[in-house]
Amino acid sequence: MDPRAELAADIVGLAMEDRTIIKVEQLAERTGMSVRALQRLFHRYVGVTPKWVIKRFRLQEAAERIERDAAASWTELAAELGYFDQAHFIKDFKAVLGQTPAQYRAAGQVSGGTQPR
């Protein structure tokens, strides 16, 4: 396997495992790469941007937290996951998961608290 492809896979794994990484700059710092080098690596070997990968994992974390905590506050969740405001968080959540956090929560309560993946 191409060593650069392995590096890209390792970095995706880091973004998935370390939920404290909420910005591309943090991922670049953790890997010792510049933001631009990271973007080029992802473009070539992952097919999406590092920002997209981080956002995807952040929203997965949000969905898991909504499943675990029926009283989760959108404002707090948005801030903890690195969003500037609640509206941007809700927009991204809906774009990725197909429903708003409130709809996701309601669907989970109806189906026993779990969501299909």
Burial class (CB in 10 A: 0-12, 13-18, 19+), 46: middle
Model pLDDT, residue 42: 98
Average pLDDT score over the chain: 90
Question: What distance in Å separates the CA atoms of residue 9 and residue 3, rounded to the nearest whole number?
Answer: 10
Overall pTM > 0.85: no
Domains of the chain (ranges; CATH) run 3-110 (1.10.10.60)
- Look at the block and give the residue holding tokens 């969740």: 77
Cβ–Cβ < 8 Å for 3, 10: no
Question: Using 50, 70 and 90 to split pLDDT, how confident is the model at 5?
Answer: very high
**Secondary structure of residue 67 in the 3-state scheme:** helix
